[in-house]
Chains A and B, each alone.
Chain A
Amino acid sequence: MDQFILQILNGLDKGSAYALIALGLTLIFGTLGVVNFAHGALFMLGAFVAVTMSKLLTLSHKVVDETRTDFLGNPLQVEVPYIYDWFGQATGDVIIDWAVPISIIAAIPVMIAIGFIMERGLIKHFYKRPHADQILVTFGLAIVIQEIVKYLYGANPIPTPAPSAFVGSFDFGVALGFDPNAIIYPYWRLVYFFFSIGIIAAVFAFLQFTTFGMVVRAGMADRETVGLLGIDIDKRFTIMFGIAAAVAGLAGVMYAPINSPNYHMGMDFLVLSFVVVVVGGMGSLPGAVAAGFLLGILESFASMSAVIDFLPGINQIIIYLVAIIILLTRPRGLMGRKGVMEE
């Protein structure tokens, strides 16, 4: 039982990342009809906003310490962050410690701007082209973004720790009456899960309860009629692209402490997120979220050693296996709408 609960918990944070990326993918597909293979790159860029914020907050000047030497025997040049000069070391350390949460503030405008540039600069020229063309150009764009990040930040992962207040794990085992250490779960992953739920709720509330969201939903259902009513739906859809980029970026920012960001992390999530979208049903926002969590949890169960011993290799194929079963039994996915990508 404790192992069961443990793997559900493990699946939740992974599922949160899948759900957030798949949500953005579905938003873009539902509004603009574009299959965006560069969406994983947006997730990765979000994580690198956190990396950049950490680097900015630790920008330093060098002070020579004559009492110590470097590896070549020269006087040691100690790097002192400018933030120490401005706020003192104690306050400076707190600000540096909270670099990841602070990055959220920067990530929203940065990611919306990147989304706008991406949509206006490249993707809008492919609206009327076949999906295959869209996939090719966005995949190419993802590779370009990836290589730029690698050029700027290198190929190695860059540690981006969570604030020290969130280091460590919560012992659910004790709380639920099991043995100590039976169910442990890192605090930051809990934060990530609740953050994702908050973002998902905010996106749904925005679409459901605002006039802007209502128009967007109407446009997703019948773009032509909304256009005939004199509403500039294209402009709203561009804004939705920016919002989808921000959602992916925020997912990336908060993911940075879970696994040290590297230039390739977007690609690692992209393919799985597409499977999530297909399983959830193309164009269905609740489907994307539900499938994200479902596949995240199933992936966790498949990683249990008892399961691997019984079915070797199942951990590597479980998501694709589930996708095949669901598509065979429900060709439109879990919550897919009729007519989407069926013309």
Chain B
Amino acid sequence: MSNSKFSRRGVLKTGMVASAGLALPQYLRADAHAGFTNAPGDSEVILGFNVPQTGPYADEGADELRAYELAVEHLNGGGDGGMLGTFSSKALDGTGILGREVKYVTGDTQTKSDAARASARSMIEKDGAIMITGGSSSGVAVAVQALCQEAGVIFMAGLTHSNDTTGKDKRANGFRHFFNSYMSGAALAPVLAANYGTDRKAYHLTADYNWGYTTEEAVKSSTEAMGWETVNAVKTPLTQTDFSSYIAPVLNSGADVLVLNHYGGNMVNSLTNAVQFGLREAQANGKNFEIVVPLYSRLMARGAGANVAGIFGSTNWHWSLQDAGSQAFTRSFGTKYGFPPSQAAHTTYVQTLLYADAVTRAGSFNPCAVAEALEDFEFDGLGNGPTLYRGADHQCFKDVLVVKGKENPENEFDLLEIVEVTPVEQVTYAPDHPQFAGGALGTCNPGA
């Protein structure tokens, strides 16, 4: 006879329940902590940086990661503080976030939606990340944003320019600081009209995916409103490397402007091909033929080399801006890494600060409290002038830069010159604008 109080059945039952509990993903457990996913302990808080570490945008991802590391350093009181000193909100004091030291984990999006979701999921479930941020593609941003909504964490988007991220695919838990296709079109069109006239015929080559469509639509509608005519718009496969067969017919199409709705490797190759075909020197309809690249990235411009000279485009931020915030960030980044930051680095650094600031102002890591603190938040000192995080769609509204490829760059970082800082009023649109139609923010999900 045994005096044990444990029966075999009881032990089995307890074991099974315990195993099931352990097997549950961390974010589904209700021990929750304080009623939301991955509530941090008293000493540290973990952020998840989900950037392309492999694949074609790995260099952009590496720059994002540098910016994140710098932001963490500044949040924890290290370095020179960067933009903490210029940020209009003074909630952050260099003691981490709500007194917790900021730690981070990283994931590799590979610029593939499924890989990005898997790495974000792993950071949320295994590492306990309370916020996910990063990325260099709209496809990835939309996919990870949806995952963060389901998981109950905040998603602070990295480089994503498609209208859909804060349009038909917007989510209550997702926030975008970067500008979008509509803003590019609205900022570029007046500059193009001023430089090239209102009687122009445009030929669009468009990358055959979501971002390409929204950019083509935005630039077409903005330039047509200025009097331009769109002669043709041709979709090019995302995997295309040689664009010669798409570019060769352009000169004989009646067009006198080529708009390249391409990004990354597509942009480098299509622009290089267009210049090789002599489009820059050509004449059409009695005018100089012109090329436009709606979304510029300095890292990508470097790949196209001298071919970017004189070509107009738009960008979210540039290190040569003279405001105090931009200067502080460029100084911190440049001192630490030896070269100026990219726009991808800027937006990710700013997003990290904005999240930390919102948590501090809300006094809570609860995603719904953080979202509330971010919604309709007005700030300044982060490099783009006075900015509004609009509550209706979680899109930042700020000035947009129209840039031009420099004719005589002094070094590999000095490729773009700012032509105009387009005021925010000119790029602001109603939340129900047709280019952003469909979809709804829904309600914030705290998880747990």
Residues of A within 8 A of B (CB): 2-3, 6-7, 9-11, 13-14, 71-72, 76, 79, 150, 154-159, 161, 167-169, 173, 179, 181-182, 184-186, 188-189, 258-260, 262, 264-265, 268, 299-301, 303-305, 308, 315-316
Contact = CB atoms under 8 A, between A and B. Distances in A.
Interface string B232-244: 1011010101101
A188 B277 CA distance: 10
Contacts of B302: 156, 159
Interface stretch (B126-134, B212-220, B303-311): B303-311
Contacts of B59: 154-156
Contact of A262 (B265, B277, B278, B335): B265
B330 interface: yes
B281 interface: yes
B272 A260 contact: yes
A155 B335 contact: no
Contacts of B55: 155
B46 interface: no
B272 A259 contact: yes
Contacts of B232: 305
Contacts of B272: 159, 258-260
B58 interface: yes
A262 B307 CA distance: 17
Contacts of A304: 245, 249
Interface string B63-77: 000000000000000
A74 B416 CA distance: 21
Interface in B321-336: 330-331, 334-335
Nearest to A167: B276
Contacts of A13: 244
A280 B282 CA distance: 39
A195 to B, nearest CB: 16
B284 interface: yes
A308 B303 contact: no
Contact of B248 (A10, A258, A268, A308): A10
A4 to B, nearest CB: 11
29 contacts: A7-B245, A10-B245, A14-B245, A71-B330, A71-B334, A71-B413, A76-B410, A79-B411, A154-B59, A155-B58, A156-B59, A157-B265, A157-B268, A159-B304, A159-B305, A168-B278, A179-B252, A181-B284, A184-B278, A186-B276, A186-B277, A189-B244, A259-B242, A260-B305, A264-B265, A299-B245, A300-B244, A308-B234, A316-B237
Given A2-B252, A154-B59, A303-B246, A265 B277 contact: no
Q: When A and B form their complex, which 7 residue pairs have the shortest distance between CB atoms, in order from nearest?
A: A159-B305, A155-B58, A157-B303, A303-B245, A169-B278, A300-B245, A186-B276
B418 interface: no
A157 B270 CA distance: 12
Interface residues of B, number: 50
Interface string B339-377: 010000000000000000000000000000000000000
Interface string B284-320: 1000000000000001101111110000000000011
Contact of A181 (B58, B282, B330, B414): B282
A264 B350 CA distance: 32
A79 B410 CA distance: 10
A262 to B, nearest CB: 6
A89 B412 CA distance: 20
B408 to A, nearest CB: 13
Contacts of A10: 244-245, 248
Contacts of A150: 54, 58
B194 to A, nearest CB: 26
Q: Which of B244, B268, B305 has the most CB of A within 10 A?
A: B244
Contact of A259 (B239, B273, B281, B319): B273
Contacts of A9: 248
Nearest to B335: A72
Contacts of A186: 244, 276-278
A69 to B, nearest CB: 11
A159 B301 CA distance: 10
Contacts of B276: 167, 169, 186, 188-189, 258
A251 to B, nearest CB: 13
Given A159-B305, A264-B265, 17 more contacts: A9-B248, A10-B248, A72-B330, A72-B331, A72-B334, A72-B335, A155-B58, A161-B306, A181-B282, A185-B248, A258-B273, A259-B241, A259-B269, A260-B269, A260-B305, A304-B249, A316-B239
A79 B414 CA distance: 14
Given A71-B340, A156-B302, A169-B278, A265 B241 contact: yes
B15 interface: no
Q: Which of B272, B300, B414 has the most CB of A within 10 A?
A: B272
A179 B283 CA distance: 13
A308 B206 CA distance: 13
A258 B242 contact: yes
Contacts of A262: 56, 265, 303
Contacts of A259: 241-242, 268-269, 272-273
Contacts of A181: 251-252, 282, 284
B57 interface: yes
A268 B57 CA distance: 16
A9 B244 CA distance: 10
A10 B282 CA distance: 19
Nearest to B238: A316
